[in-house]
Each structure stands twice: as C-alpha cells, then as structure tokens.
Copies of this chain bind each other. A is one copy, B any other.
Amino acid sequence: MNKSNSQYSNIRNQNKNEILEDYVEAIQEIAEIKGDVKNSDLSIHFGVSQATVNKNLKRLINFNLAKSEPYRSIFLTKEGKKLAAISREKHEIVYQFLLKLGVSKKVAQYDSEGIEHHVSEETLRLMKKFNK
C-alpha cells in the first residue's frame, strides 16, 4: 500500500481511512437504533447526496467492511463490525478526554470527530489513563 516513509504520506492515508471508519461507526449506530440501515439514513447522517453514499458504500464493500444487495439494507461484515467497535471505542476515549480537559460538550463532539483518526495507540492509552 503505502511505501513512503514520510510521515506526511501517512497522515494523508489516515484521511482516506477516516471515511471508512466514520461509515462503519455510523452503520453500526443506525443498525442499533433503527434495526436496519438504508442508503437514505447515511445520506442524512453525513449530509451528502445519496449518490455519494452509494459510491462510498462500494468502497466499503470492496474493502470487505460491508455488504448489501442492490436496493436492500446495508450490513456490516465481521470485519466491518470489528472496525466499528474499535472506531467507537477510540472516538469515545478522545471525546471523554476532551471533556476532562475542560472542553465544552459541543466542541468536544466536533473536535473528537476529527482527532479520533489521528491518535496513535500510545496517545490513546495516555488519554484513557487521563480519563480515569
């Protein structure tokens, strides 16, 4: 995949994983709340067109994170569920950390949505520790 040893290339790569993580997290959440997940749910959730959701979904399916028969509901694969759990956990740790730091709920929600994709295991562990 990424053969460059520059840290910058890795950051740009994180930006590509970002959308995958956000999607599996959203699919899991919506599945829990509404039972099933449709294209239109994701379109509303992310504030993008249904055509865009459809295209991104194809990427998720390609990465074996989700599956969906044409015109039917969307499901996570085992792999997708695993990534969803990891992403949610990570998101939650960062969110709680920001609150602990003193950041307002609204801003913590906003910032954690971006920061979550850029914290390494080491940083995450220290945030978790700080939260206790």
Question: Which residues of A does B touch, CB under 8 Å?
Answer: 1, 4-12, 14-15, 18-19, 22, 45-49, 98, 101-104, 107-111, 113-115, 117-120, 122-123, 126-127, 130
Bound-state Cα–Cα, A115 to B117, Å? 8
Bound-state Cα–Cα, A56 to B9, Å? 14
Considering the complex, give the chain B residue whose CB is closest to the CB of A1: B49
Bound-state Cα–Cα, A48 to B119, Å? 23
Bound-state Cα–Cα, A16 to B11, Å? 12
Bound-state Cα–Cα, A117 to B18, Å? 14
Option from B6, B46, B48, B114 in Cβ contact (under 8 Å) with A118: B114
Bound-state Cα–Cα, A6 to B5, Å? 34
Considering the complex, give the chain B residue whose CB is closest to the CB of A122: B107
Determine whether the beta carbon of A8 is less than 8 Å from that of B46: yes
Option from B47, B103, B107, B108 in Cβ contact (under 8 Å) with A6: B47
Option from B5, B45, B46, B120 in Cβ contact (under 8 Å) with A111: B120
Bound-state Cα–Cα, A6 to B98, Å? 20
**Chain B residues with CB below 8 A from A22, complex form:** 8
